[in-house]
Amino acid sequence: MDTRPLRADARRNREKIVTAARDAFAATGLDTQMDDIARGAGVGVGTLYRNFPTKDALVAAIVLAQMEENAQIADDLLARDGCSWECFEDFVRRAGMKDQALAEVMATQPAATFIDALQESGLAANVAEMMRRAQADGKMRPDASIEDVQIFMCGMGAVLRNFGPDRGRRYADIMLAGMRAS
């Protein structure tokens, strides 16, 4: 595997493709054609396939981009003084409720895609640190784990996809209540 950094123009093309794919999948789901994504990104189909040989590879890149955005949200929250339960709760609500239109696409991915993206993006470490702080403060159940959060967030995507944002907020309320220390 080539580990050299991408040239600036190649990196920009890759970013444009991921953005165009994200928009297209949000609008029309996984039935979106790769030709349409290339056109939306302003690149040739060959450029798209050089970067993403399959639609699954492109969706995995979208998942990683989403996790990187969520890692940034978590970074910002961890920088707060006294970050504990409130930060964790804020993170779940902000990260879980965004990009509702992509919930269907995200829900189709195998668990390994999410696990890989969680590690690669740094999100797993950030969420684990938020949980550690909340548990140390006695505000989160001591038996809560990062795996619980992964399942919780996947469930959030399914609820958003099938029932909409009002039910998604209700789902978050119930799940967060279950993770809170009694």
Kindly indicate the confidence band of residue 89, based on its pLDDT and cuts at 50, 70 and 90. Answer: very high
> What is the per-residue pLDDT across 46-81, written as a single tens digit (0 to 9) for each?
999 999 999 889 988 988 888 899 999 999 999 998
Give the list of residues 6+ apart from residue 39 with CB closer than 8 angstroms, or none. Answer: none
78 and 155 co-located in one domain: yes
Shared-domain flag, residues 68 and 156 = yes
Do 38 and 96 lie in one domain? The reply is no
Same domain, 164 and 85: yes
CA distance 118 to 122: 6
| pLDDT 10s digits, 92-106 | 998 887 766 566 666
Q: What is the pTM of this model?
A: 0.82
For residues 64 and 25, membership in a common domain is answered with no
The reported pLDDT for the residue numbered 86 is 94
- Does residue 19 sit in the same domain as residue 72? no
- Residue 37: its pLDDT value, please? 94
- Asked whether 36 and 55 are in contact (CB, 8 A), the reply is no
pLDDT at 29: 77
Q: What is the CATH number of the domain that holds 46?
A: 1.10.10.60
| Residue-number span of the structural domain to which 39 is assigned | 1-53
Same domain, 79 and 44: no
Task: Check residue 47 and give its pLDDT.
Answer: 93
78 and 161, same domain (yes or no): yes
Q: What is the dihedral of CA 172, 140, 73, 94, to 10 degrees?
A: 10
163 and 110 part of one domain: yes
Question: Nearest to residue 92, comparing CAs of 174, 181, 161, 182?
Answer: 174
Same structural domain, 89 and 9: no
pLDDT of residue 102: 63
| Same domain as 7, residue 85 | no
Out of 53, 71, 90, a domain closes at: 53
172 shares a domain with 91:
yes
Rounded Cα distance between 32 and 51, Å, is 17
Number of structural domains (the chain) is 2
Q: Considering the chain, what percentage of its residues have pLDDT values greater than 70?
A: 92
